[in-house]
Structure 1
Amino acid sequence: MSLRSLHSWNVTPTEAREIQERFRNRVRQKNAASLRRIRHVAGVDVSLKAAQVTAAIVVLDYPTLELVDVATQRQKVSFPYVPGLLTFRECPAILAAYEKLQIEPDLMLVDGQGIAHPRRFGLAAHLGVLLGKPTIGCAKSRLIGTHDEPHEQAGCYTDLFDGNELIGAVLRTRANVKPLYISVGHNIELPTALDFVLDCCQGYRLPEPTRLAHQSAGGLLRSSRARY
């Protein structure tokens, strides 16, 4: 699959922040028309060990959530660890994995932040703008913002605020387990994002796309469909 290049990845932390500020206004918090006909949903996750990153993308049929495609990419990381700039460590490998896919996803669930980010341009938002696809940030931990604790029942959520700005939701995907931090990535509205995340849950804390992507990035998912 061919990808468009909006900027260089060989940048300094200062330049990386400038890129986030420059492209943040391209994030679209409206439902794309394509969301009415979702056939394939992807999960995106990465594993970082020492100076290497392994990115994994799994593609599932929707709504059956049957695994139909897997691609991974392992490569060296040159960008330093800087909170709020993890995209610049992870995204080059994710894009390389994306190019290996044979089935193009219509929606992507990303283990990372969308607009719930200091510059409103986390990994899910950045990836969505680069690919021009609907994306959802499905983070396991909070980067910024404040919230009330959601009820312990699965499907309950509370709003995530940065000051007076709504930047996401704290969603309980399984009863009595830690919630996930859901935020808009691109081409989707928050209520729609929450619906899709819950639709993709199969009794685990993580929705099935990111759960399988996590396994794949860690080398635990064995599939005849995988491309390395």
Structure 2
Amino acid sequence: MEVREPHAWPSTPAEAEAIQDRLRPSLDLADTGPQRPATIAGLDVSYADGDGDRLAAAVVVLDAVTLETVEESVVTGTAAFPYVPGLFAFRELPALLEALRRLETTPDLLVCDGAGLAHPRRFGLACHLGVLTGLPAMGVAKTRLYGTHDAPGPRRGATAALTGDDGTVIGQVLRTRDDVKPVYVSVGHRIDLDTACRHTLALCPEFRLPETTRRADHLSRAALRAS
């Protein structure tokens, strides 16, 4: 698939924050993506030795109805930026964008293992990828990066609002399995929060995490073992 050339790559946290500030107004927070996407891509990055700089970035495209794998792409490399809270996307974006470029399929929706608006600067990985690709994008995170919330109910589909310091809703805490800890859903680009939660539940027929994330995680870990 085609991915436009990204911005010049930052060398300092100040430069990275300036890029986030410049791109944030390009976000489309309306639900302009397809209501019934045909294909959904999961994106995930694994690191050698847990927190090293060697990484593998994987994209797995699924049929949105059957959840069968349509196409896979994986790139190994090194982190492009130091670890800085709130700027984690800059470590992973070059490898993820290269993995997307290698796809023959252009997915209808990107699902990131990370945050979108539920981010201290309201511009997490899902936002960044959405703006750079022009595709609808959302984040489903395993843990809370930012914001406060009450506990959702114990049953699948229960939600609780995730709010920022100013009280604005920036995501939903979503229970995908009965009595199992929830995930953190936030919009990235061209999708609204209700639609993002609906897609998340559809992608979680058996497990806590979406099949998109599970398969991309498996592919990225396998690539690291093989490299």
Scaled by the length of structure 1, the TM-score of the pair is: 0.93
TM-superposed deviation, 1:78: 3.8
Percent identity of equivalent pairs: 48
Is 1:139 paired with 2:135?
Answer: no
* Deviation sequence 1:139-160 (CA, Å, 0-9, x none): 1111111000011111111000
4+ runs of 1 displaced by more than 2 Å?
A: none
Give the conservation status (yes or no) of the 8 Å contact 1:73–1:97: yes
Q: Residues 9-24 of structure 1: matches in 2 within 5 Å?
A: 9-24=9-24
> Can you give the 5+ residue segments of structure 2 that lack an aligned partner in the other structure?
none
Structure 2 equivalent of residue 180 of structure 1: 183
Determine if contact 2:150/2:161 at 8 Å carries over to the other structure.
yes
Maintained 8 Å contact 2:172/2:185: yes
Deviation per CA, 1:88-145: give whole Å up to 9, x if none: 0011100010011121100011000000011110000100010001111101111111
Contact 2:114 2:125 survives alignment (8 Å): yes
Amino acid at match of 1:36: Q
Structure 1 Cα separation of the partners of residues 176 and 36 of structure 2: 24
- For residue 9 of structure 1, report the CA deviation from its aligned partner: 2.0
Number of the residue aligned with 1:224: none
Is residue 192 of structure 1 aligned with residue 195 of structure 2?
yes
- The match for 2:47 is 48
Q: For residues 6 and 96 of structure 1, do their structure 2 counterparts lie closer, same or farther at Cα, with a shift above 3 Å needed? A: closer
Q: Distance in 1 between matches of 2:87 and 2:106?
A: 27
1:122 aligns with 2:124: yes
Structure 1 equivalent of residue 162 of structure 2: 160
SS in 2 for 1:68: strand
Q: Deviations over 1:41-64 (max 9, x none)?
A: 010100122221210000001111
Residue aligning to 1:99: 101
Partner of 2:81: 79
Amino acid at match of 1:12: T
CA distance in 2, matches of 1:20, 1:110: 17
Kept in 2: contact 1:24–1:119 (CA 8 A): no
Alpha-carbon contact 1:9-1:92 (below 8 Å) kept:
no
The number of residues matched between the two structures is: 220
Letter in 2 for 1:39: A
Query: Secondary structure of the residue that 1:130 maps to in structure 2?
Result: helix
Structure 1: segments with no counterpart, 5+ residues: 221-227
- Structure 2 length-normalised TM: 0.93
